[in-house]
Amino acid sequence: MSEFSPISIYLVISPLVSLIPLGVPFPFASNSSTYPEKLSAYECGFDPFGDARSRFDIRFYLVSILFIIPDPEVTFSFPWAVPLNKIDPFGSWSMMAFLLILTIGSLYEWKRGALDWE
Amino acid sequence: MNVPATRKDLMRVNMGPHHPSMHGVLRLIVTLDGEDVIDCEPILGYLHRGMEKIAENRTIIQYLPYVTRWDYLATMFTEAITVNGPEQLGNIQVPKRASYIRIIMLELSRIASHLLWLGPFMADIGAQTPFFYIFRERELIYDLFEAATGMRMMHNYFRIGGVAADLPYGWIDKCLDFCDYFLTGVTEYQKLITRNPIFLKRVEGVGVVGGEEALNWGLSGPMLRASGIQWDLRKVDQYECYYELDWEVQWQKEGDSLARYLVRIGEMTESIKIIQQALEGIPGGPYENLEIRRFDKVKDPEWNDFEYRFISKKPSPAFELAKQELYVRVEAPKGELGIFLIGDAGVFPWRWKIRPPGFINLQILPQLVKRMKLADIMTILGSIDIIMGEVDR
Amino acid sequence: MIKMIMDTTEIQTINPFSRLEVVYGILWTLVPIFGLVLGIIIGVLVIVWLEREISAGIQQRIGPEYAGPLGILQALADGVKLLFKENLLPSRGDARLFSIGPSIAVISILLSYSIIPFGDHLILSDLTIGVFLWIAISSVAPIGLLMSGYGSNNKYSFLGGLRATAQSISYEIPLTLCVLSISLLSNSPSTIDIVEAQSKYGFWGWNLWRQPIGFIIFLCSSLAECERLPFDLPEAEEELVAGYQTEYSGIKFGLFYIASYLNLLVSSLFVTVLYLGGWNLSIAYGFIPKLFDINKAGKVFGTIIGILITLAKTYLFLFIPIATRWTLPRLRMDQLLSLGWKFLLPISLGNLLLTTSFQLLSL
């Protein structure tokens, strides 16, 4: 409890720190001089060709899928790595086996060209 | 079953004219598939000022102050071509000293142009700092120009049959000092840039132009020489006094952006070599062919009397262009700068067609950027080296 | 220090007659938080000033000189200007996503500061999960960037947001693996334990010497996480105009600006904590402890020294990212991802396996 209470207060304070500046311009800066051209999307001085929210490149999605695999791996490793001196050799070496399997997995990904951006 | 292939939604983006890396007001309509460039369509004309038409109702002397606005970074070359055309049309001799002064000015201008290519090119790749370094050296060149011509950028220095003024006292020493200093500057750039692994990764094999292809597209200048073709008009046409000096054509054979970079860096040091030799060997004598001041006006000019000198101070308003036509060209920093000139036995040219190197070199851009990455557009465009003032005229 | 305060609050909560004192205790908790926030803001202003002066030095310019002595107040002046600027929302954009995006980026980075020890046990909350909190929270920032990129309804912004996300998740893994190796060495993810594990052999006890490969990978990945050159693709000026912040102006743009520098500051603070021995002076082993013995009575003095050492290390380290920013060109997207996935990831995995084997053998 004691170690989390400052951070939970901080959790409230830090949004305030970033949200208060957002409100400050309202009393000072008026939007009266705003006109439609000023608010249109910037595309080098021309009206944009269509909507920006079209389908995007599949490879960005692929990168995020690739990320999902090693990220839990690392997350699993934290509870193992920290009391490394407290767990028995069986536990530590079984985690090594886990890491090894994941290494083989990423080597496979590499081999299949999932890591190529071409 | 007739299933249509999955339609790929391609993104069409306007790049320019208000874009940080469009080198002025070039507009590219780029079709993107994610990060890949599918198509690229350049749109020109945002800086069109009717330069060619304006020339048709100006005398050469009236037009001279305006030509520096074609390629405002290699100003001396535009002036040189503007006087070279009428000179060759009228078969006017240029005194040796004037020719040497012209060579020095042209090569200084070439260095200035290549410097202001290097900075933005590096900025296009993402390195901002070289921009400031090149301005350091470029300022010195412009100081030299200012000392000799009175103006830093728009000099109005060349005249038919010579130059407007002789070099001021001490200018040659100043210029020699600059040459020595500039070589250390080039070494510094090379230390900073040439072997940088990220730089090499970004430019090597990007925008490859083969020799055959370069010829077919009509490329010139460093674009052509980087593709393995040793074509330099200073050697080919032998204009001014370049044949009297010892220098070599800079060329590479790879044809990629790195080769173009190396060619331009090489040309800067080569230009310094030319300038140093020209400064050592500059002869005395007149800096202007005064005969042409009085062209076709006085039958027997009396030398050295009061009236002759008085007239010689003024530009000749009545310089007449013969009823002939010709194409003249110089090796500008960006490539072959040419003029097709038709005279009509009057003071105005009947036709003044400019062949801007940047415009011709730019044509290959859509082909080079296809199937490349978005970031490569900037690398390739930067390595082509265009000035929109010259492309649009 | 804070822990002590917390303990007293806890004791007081047991006592039913001390409601007022509970409020008092909470107020006392607020003091270090506001101190931290103030410190962070000043730290960011200093970084902005440093960046400007160093870049000016590298580029042979003068840099800011008019706002305050040596232009120290330049960043503040810019911030005030941004604060008073008109609040623009793009007409076809999504107002909510557009407004929240920069805040999320700032909040997530601000939270990471809570686990940084500035001095001897001077930490906002000494969590047992420690650095893992940073890893977890810092992955929220790209969501904010993606939100703002999507909310702008601008192609450059959208591409920038996508790039930002792809880049930060790609470099997240090598970064985490490096942190994991450090936790292995210290047998704890707590930042305080990590610093104390480095305090034994002075200068040579730094994790920098035990994890040189890890240090370099950490440096590269944190540069990529901060979106600084050579990895500033999401806001690559020459390609995407300004990336996800193209449509932003006024204080929202200012928040992005602050977020990037906050991120830089927190990264170098973590470098200090993880690799450079944190608040320990770590030099001149002979006379410094004596100096501390003399001042043992003045605990405040020791704390101040600790803070100063941490900040000195951090700001000295900051010269590296600032100098690289003004020296190197930018990578291309495919090169960036292949560097992350094909080079840094295997190397950091190998580094982890090596560290683990050493630790297991030495048990």
- Which residue is closest to A69 within chain C, CA to CA? C173
d(CA C223, CA C232): 9
d(CA B353, CA B50): 11
* Region C250-279 average pLDDT: 87
- Which residue is closest to C155 within chain B, CA to CA? B13
* Region C259-286 average pLDDT: 81
Q: Which residues of chain B have pLDDT under 70?
A: 1-9, 290-318
Q: What is the pLDDT of residue B142?
A: 92
Instruction: Answer whether residue B211 is part of any domain.
Output: yes
Instruction: Answer whether residue B5 is part of any domain.
Output: no
Alpha helices by DSSP H, listed for B7-153, are 51-55, 60-67, 75-90, 96-125, 129-149
Cβ separation A15–C150 shorter than 8 A:
no
Q: Is the predicted pLDDT of residue C282 greater than 70, yes or no?
A: no
Cβ separation C33–A9 shorter than 8 A:
yes
Cα angle value B289/B290/B293 (rounded, 5°)? 115
Cβ separation A57–B34 shorter than 8 A:
yes
Instruction: Answer whether residue B2 is part of any domain.
Output: no
d(CA A115, CA B390): 44
CB of C271 within 8 A of CB of C208? no
Q: How far is B262 from chain A (nearest CA, A)?
A: 28
Which residues of chain B make contact with A40, given a CB cutoff of 8 A? none
Q: What is the pLDDT of residue C1?
A: 43
> With a CB-CB cutoff of 8 Å, which residues 47-66 of chain A face chain B?
48-50, 52, 54-60
Q: What is the pLDDT of residue A5?
A: 73
Q: Is the predicted pLDDT of residue C2 greater than 60, yes or no?
A: no
Q: Is the predicted pLDDT of residue C14 greater than 70, yes or no?
A: no
**Residue A8 confidence class, pLDDT cut points 50, 70, 90:** confident
Q: How many CA atoms lie within 13 A of A76 on its CB side?
A: 14
Which residues of chain B make contact with A59, given a CB cutoff of 8 A? 34-35
Cβ separation B19–A48 shorter than 8 A:
no
Which residues of chain A make contact with B27, given a CB cutoff of 8 A? 44
As for the ipTM of the complex, it is 0.80
Q: How many CB atoms lie within 10 A of CB B197?
A: 10
Query: What kind and span of H or E run contains B37?
Result: strand B36-43
Q: What is the pLDDT of residues B139-154, one digit of tens each?
A: 999 999 999 988 888 8
Cα angle value C145/C272/C222 (rounded, 5°)? 30
C17 reaches A (C-beta below 8 A): no
d(CA C310, CA C316): 10
| Angle (deg, nearest 10), helices A70-81 and C345-362 | 20
pTM across the whole model: 0.83
Residue C183 is nearest to which of A14, A70, A82, comparing CB atoms? A82
Q: What is the pLDDT of residue B295?
A: 52
Q: What is the pLDDT of residues C290-348, one digit of tens each?
A: 555 555 556 667 777 778 888 888 889 999 999 988 888 888 888 888 888 888 888 88
Which residues of chain B make contact with A57, given a CB cutoff of 8 A? 33-35
- C72, with CB counted inside 10 A (0-12, 13-18, 19+), is middle
Q: What is the pLDDT of residues B213-228, one digit of tens each?
A: 888 988 888 988 998 8
Q: What is the pLDDT of residue B112?
A: 92
Which residues of chain C make contact with B26, given a CB cutoff of 8 A? none
Would you call the peptide bond into B17 cis, given omega within 30 degrees of 0 as the criterion? Answer: yes
Q: How far is A38 from chain B (nearest CA, A)?
A: 15
C88: amino acid identity, one letter = L
pLDDT: which is higher, C24 or B170: B170
Number of H helices, E strands in chain A: 6, 0
Residue A49 is nearest to which of B14, B18, B19, comparing CB atoms? B14
* Region A104-113 average pLDDT: 81
Cβ separation B17–A45 shorter than 8 A:
yes
Q: What is the pLDDT of residue B111?
A: 92
- Contacts for C4 with CB less than 8 Å, ≥ 6 apart: none
Query: What kind and span of H or E run contains B325?
Result: strand B325-332
Instruction: Answer whether residue B274 is part of any domain.
Output: yes
Alpha helices by DSSP H, listed for A24-88, are 25-28, 36-39, 58-68, 70-81
Q: What is the pLDDT of residues C91-111, one digit of tens each?
A: 887 888 888 888 888 888 888
* Domain range for B175: 11-391
Q: Cα C294 from chain centroid?
A: 34
Cβ separation C86–A25 shorter than 8 A:
yes
Q: Is B164 helix (H, G, I), strand (E, B) or coil?
A: coil
pLDDT: which is higher, C236 or A118: C236
Number of domains comprising chain B? 1
CATH code, B369 = 1.10.645.10
Instruction: Answer whether residue B4 is part of any domain.
Output: no
d(CA B58, CA A11): 73
Q: What is the pLDDT of residues C181-216, one digit of tens each?
A: 888 888 777 888 888 788 777 777 788 888 888 899
